[in-house]
């Protein structure tokens, strides 16, 4: 008599694996990614609080004003990330065109009725809330490009894409890029350009396309300077980057003060809420673009390295999720998110250290601001969704 283990299993039982939520649940999430993200938003909230608590011109005398605002931003962002995870991979792909079109509409509205802050018309005022559509455009472009390639591949991963796929993906990126350049938001444009090139490289685009696009980008930058597309303050920032002593009280002031603040921290820092440059308010926009200087001054080299280490952990997990995914859409989207986070973090930290020009981009998960945090946490939600799908497919293949 056959034992229970030897008896054939009815086909109906073999072909109906349990849903991912029931089988994997929250234990199946990528926990290193989740914990690193939570640590970054927690650290960022503390740094924002330290950078603003003493600035009465910002807080109106309420030293916890920005703490409460950032906690609300974190809560909303986590809800958005959870929504993406619960929606599942199928709904994310179905709603990708909606997200892309929504970002286009937002960018168009900015040009018509947006508010100008720091020389760039990038914001929509919605009551007491300000929204920056260009932050969501980064996420939408990545998802849109991944969807184009996913649909063309029809479920098969190919080591190289052809001209049709490259042109289609560039078309997806071109419309938001033109609208962002019209604001003009040079920092976001640089991040978007690096992200698009990263997505194309991850998708397996021919090398001639990547080289051609790189040369075209360099040529476009030269033309923009010669044609007067860039505003004077943007040109001054690049000149100050090449020579910080050229205008130490003007365009070079931010970089000079940022480097002083980071240098003040030494090995272990002056202590949270005790940074001398931070308390004196010498570093402009310290709770947003220059929040890394708070970490450098108050937490020192050790604390700054911890922050960078957490960012690197997020990038590593995103790349691991990309390489593990057998789905073209998931693989390209995860790689694109890694490129986005990686270049933007490098750009932000680099301008605080004087090795990159000042372009006004936030540090992912750390800088104050709802739009950047919402977009970043949406991306983390998508990474978790891709990870769960990969786990489910691997489990289903094991059961067959």
Is pLDDT above 90 for 151?
Answer: no
Q: What angle do CA 334, 338, 343 make, to 5 degrees?
A: 150
Closest CA to 385 of 34, 75, 17: 34
Is residue 10 in some structural domain? no
127-134's contacts with Cβ under 8 Å and 24+ in sequence apart are 129/370, 130/370, 130/371, 131/106, 131/370, 131/371, 132/369, 132/371, 132/372, 133/103, 133/106, 133/107, 133/109, 133/371, 134/107, 134/110, 134/176, 134/180, 134/183, 134/185, 134/188
Is pLDDT above 60 for 284?
Answer: yes
pLDDT band at 225 (very low <50, low <70, confident <90, very high): low
Is pLDDT above 80 for 207?
Answer: no
CA distance 340 to 252: 27
Is residue 2 in some structural domain? no
CA atoms within 13 A on the CB side of 371: 21
State both tokens at 199. Answer: 């997505």
- CB count in 10 Å sphere of residue 94: 12
Is residue 344 in some structural domain? yes
Mind listing the pLDDT tens digit for each residue in 287-334?
999 999 999 999 999 999 999 999 999 999 999 999 998 888 889 999
- Structural domain containing residue 293: 29-393
Mind listing the pLDDT tens digit for each residue in 159-205?
457 778 888 888 999 999 889 888 878 888 889 988 998 888 888 87
Is pLDDT above 90 for 84?
Answer: yes
pTM to 2 decimal places: 0.86
Q: Which residues of 330-369 are buried (b: 16+ CB within 10 A; e: fewer)?
A: bbbbbbbbbbbbbbbbbbbbbbbbbebbbbbbbbbbbbbb
Is residue 399 in some structural domain? no
As a whole number of angstroms, the longest Cα–Cα distance in the chain is: 91
- State the average pLDDT over residues 119-139: 82
| CA 23 vs CA 15, 27, 29, 92, 393: distances in Å | 15, 9, 12, 20, 12
Is pLDDT above 90 for 122?
Answer: no
Q: Establish whether the linkage from the previous residue to 101 is cis, with ω within 30° of 0.
A: no
Residue 129 has phi, psi (to 5 degrees) of -110, 140
Per-residue pLDDT at 155: 46
Chain-centre distance of CA 377, in angstroms?
Answer: 8
Is residue 355 in some structural domain? yes
State both tokens at 272. Answer: 């949270």
Considering its fold, how many domains does the chain have in total? 1
Mind listing the pLDDT tens digit for each residue in 367-385?
998 899 999 999 999 999 9
Per-residue pLDDT at 18: 43
Mind listing the pLDDT tens digit for each residue in 19-47?
444 444 678 899 999 999 999 999 999 99
Per-residue pLDDT at 37: 97
High-pLDDT (> 90) share of the chain, %: 40
CA distance 316 to 345: 14
Is pLDDT above 90 for 95?
Answer: no
- CB count in 10 Å sphere of residue 317: 24
Is residue 5 in some structural domain? no
Per-residue pLDDT at 248: 58
- CB count in 10 Å sphere of residue 219: 10
Is residue 3 in some structural domain? no
Is pLDDT above 80 for 51?
Answer: yes
Is residue 400 in some structural domain? no
């Amino acid at each position: 008599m056959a034992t229970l283990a030897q008896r054939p299993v009815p086909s109906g039982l073999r072909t109906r694996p349990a849903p991912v939520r029931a089988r994997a649940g929250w234990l199946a999430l990528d926990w290193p990614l989740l914990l690193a993200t939570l640590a970054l938003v927690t650290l960022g909230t503390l740094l924002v609080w330290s950078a603003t608590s003493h600035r009465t011109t910002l807080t109106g005398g309420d030293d916890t004003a920005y703490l409460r605002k950032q906690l609300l931003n974190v809560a909303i962002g986590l809800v958005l990330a959870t929504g993406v995870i619960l929606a599942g991979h199928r709904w994310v792909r179905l709603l990708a065109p909606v997200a892309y079109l929504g970002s286009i509409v937002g960018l168009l509205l900015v040009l018509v009725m947006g508010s100008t802050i720091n020389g760039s018309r990038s914001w929509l005022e919605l009551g007491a809330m300000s929204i920056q559509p260009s932050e969501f455009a980064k996420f939408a472009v990545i998802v849109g490009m991944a969807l184009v390639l996913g649909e063309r591949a029809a479920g098969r991963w190919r080591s190289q894409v052809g001209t049709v796929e490259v042109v289609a993906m560039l078309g997806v990126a071109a419309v938001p890029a033109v609208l962002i350049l019209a604001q003009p938001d040079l920092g976001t444009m640089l991040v978007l350009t690096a992200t698009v090139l990263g997505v194309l490289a991850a998708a397996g685009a021919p090398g001639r396309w990547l080289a051609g696009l790189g040369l075209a980008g360099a040529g476009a930058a030269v033309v923009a300077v010669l044609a007067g597309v860039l505003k004077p303050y943007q040109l001054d920032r690049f000149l100050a980057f090449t020579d910080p002593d050229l205008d130490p009280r003007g365009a070079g002031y931010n970089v000079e003060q940022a480097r002083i603040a980071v240098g003040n921290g030494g090995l272990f820092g002056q202590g949270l809420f005790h940074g001398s440059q931070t308390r004196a308010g010498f570093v402009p926009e310290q709770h947003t673009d220059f929040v890394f200087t708070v970490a450098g001054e108050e937490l020192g080299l050790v604390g700054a390295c911890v922050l960078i280490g957490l960012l690197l952990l997020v990038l590593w997990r995103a790349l691991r999720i990309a390489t593990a995914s057998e789905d073209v859409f998931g693989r390209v989207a995860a790689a694109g998110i890694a490129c986005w986070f990686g270049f933007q973090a490098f750009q932000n930290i680099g301008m605080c250290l004087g090795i990159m020009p000042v372009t006004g981009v936030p540090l992912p998960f750390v800088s104050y601001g709802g739009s950047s945090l919402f977009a970043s946490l949406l991306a983390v939600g998508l990474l978790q969704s891709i990870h769960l799908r990969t786990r489910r497919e691997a489990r289903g293949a094991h059961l067959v």
